[in-house]
Structure 1
Amino acid sequence: MGKGISENIQEFTTATQSFIESSINYHKLDLYKKVMSGVISSSHKLLLGFFLLISILFLSLAASIYIGDLLDNDALGYLIVGLFYFLLVILVALFMKPVIEKKFIAQDQPAILQFK
């Protein structure tokens, strides 16, 4: 004859437990993959940003020295480059904040939560 109800329930329980364990392992692996992808992306962007900042530093020093030589006053060259960066910061603070906020808010929202 066929299997008894208790044997069927035992097989069902075993299969369900195996499915749950496999599902948990899959989600752990998926989470690990997503975290590592984020870490790699972040470290890549940090390295690019570091080298960009070093480049800007040396270009700014070169521009300061050049302007100082043109004006026969090194301090004035550094002051002009400093004022340029100060004005750049003010412009970014005034005009770029709404653009940046809009970009990040639209990017972070799932499609279902985006308002029109």
Structure 2
Amino acid sequence: MENIPEQFAQLKELLTEYFDSNLEYYKFSGFEKLIRITIALSLTALFFMLAMFALLFFGFGTAVWLSDLLGNEILGYMGTGTIYLILICLIYLLKKPLIERPFIKLFYRILYSKRPKN
């Protein structure tokens, strides 16, 4: 009977230690996943920004080429704008397989992976 308070004290100490270690683990795990998501978003933003610059210059090149081909500068730029509108419509129609699913898969891998890949 005299051991019961002592056992409760030990049990309390063990439980406190267990919860503290779990808390530290989840803090570290959450921090790691936050960093991995931040890096993925940064790389994706950088990729899209560079792709936009490439599209801008390709658009100007296409407009000048079409202007020379059609003999009218306005038609060249309008043709390039039409090409971009068609691309926008295609991307909108195919947004699930082209944009949503890859992002969902990327964030699922980041959030639910057991170990980071080196």
Which TM-score tier does this pair reach, normalised by the shorter chain? Answer: 0.7 to 0.9
Aligned equivalent of 1:49: 48
TM-score w.r.t. structure 2 length?
0.76
Q: Which residue of 1 aligns with 2:113?
A: none
Tell me which of the two structures has the higher relative contact order, counting C-alpha pairs closer than 8 angstroms and 6 or more residues apart.
Answer: 2
Other-structure match for 1:13: 12
Unpaired runs of 5+ in structure 1? Answer: 110-116
Match runs of 1:3-82 below 5 Å: 4-82=3-81
Q: Deviation digits for residues 32-81 of structure 1, max 9, x if unmatched?
A: 00111000011001101100110011011011011112222111100001
CA RMSD across the alignment? 2.5
Q: Could you list the runs of 5+ residues in structure 2 that have no partner in the other structure?
A: 109-118
Q: How does 1:79-98 map to 2 (within 5 A)?
A: 79-94=78-93, 96-97=94-95
CA distance in 2, matches of 1:97, 1:85: 16
Identical residues among aligned pairs (%):
23
**1:92 partner amino acid:** I
Counting matched residue pairs gives 105
TM-score computed with the length of structure 1 as normaliser: 0.77
